[in-house]
Amino acid sequence: MKKYIPILMFFGFLFFFQSCASQSSADPKIVNALIDSQEFTFHAERANPTNYDVINVLGSMPNATSTRMLNLDGSYTIDVSKNNLDVTLPYFGRLFNATYGNTANNSYRFTSKDFTINKSQNKKGKWILRIKPNDVRNVDEIIIEIFKNGKAFVSMKSNDRQPISYDGYISKSEVKQEKEKP
């Protein structure tokens, strides 16, 4: 019986590393093609607030983890196309010019048709996209860091609120069909 314990531990160790290695990632050629075409969607999986009031509230909740991240359901996105930037992201933090009554203005929900994108790539293959929307008054800059495997990190810099960042991944943009009016 004692000689089987090391064998079982070895297989358990292999199974653990196999499950860690099987996480999904995209092909680097597909990621480069998406960035070159400027037609992709960022899906936010986690929000990372920087406001310590929010972090303290999150830490004081029952069964809370010690991380500063909020898991999102994946429905929050940034759709980038050549002539349209559609942002739908939640915001957790301090607003300096809050709007009362309409809470939709307190998150990042806007569509921009006048924006500039500056792309750069480092030696290791990581892309950095700096998006400056010119027709949105409260967003100064969106910085998207895209890694070779399709994972992405987004930082939002605003004029009227504290910064926040998001973790997620990019994928090919889905074609949206407009609803016909009766």
Count CB atoms within 10 A of the CB of residue 15: 10
Q: Which residues pair with 181 in a beta bridge?
A: none
- What pLDDT, in 10s, does the model give residues 159-173? 888 889 999 999 988
Q: What is the residue extent of each domain of the chain?
A: 43-172
The whole-model pTM stands at 0.75
The CATH number that domain 43-172 falls under is 2.40.128
Q: What is the mean pLDDT of residues 92-112?
A: 76
What gap in Å lies between CA 153 and CA 10, rounded to an integer?
36
Using CA atoms, how far apart are residues 154 and 167, in angstroms rounded to an integer? 7
User: Residue 119: which H helix or E strand, with range?
Assistant: strand 115-121
pLDDT of residue 8: 63
Q: Does residue 180 have a pLDDT over 60?
A: no
The string of pLDDT tens digits covering residues 46-87 is 888 876 666 666 666 666 665 566 778 878 999 999 889 999
Note whether 157 and 80 are within 8 A (CB): no
User: Residues 106-118: pLDDT tens digits?
Assistant: 788 999 999 999 9
Phi, psi torsion values for 173, nearest 5 degrees? -65, 140
pLDDT over 70, % of the chain: 68
CA distance 44 to 148: 17
Of 157, 131, 140, residue with least CA distance to 38: 131
Residue 23 has what pLDDT? 45
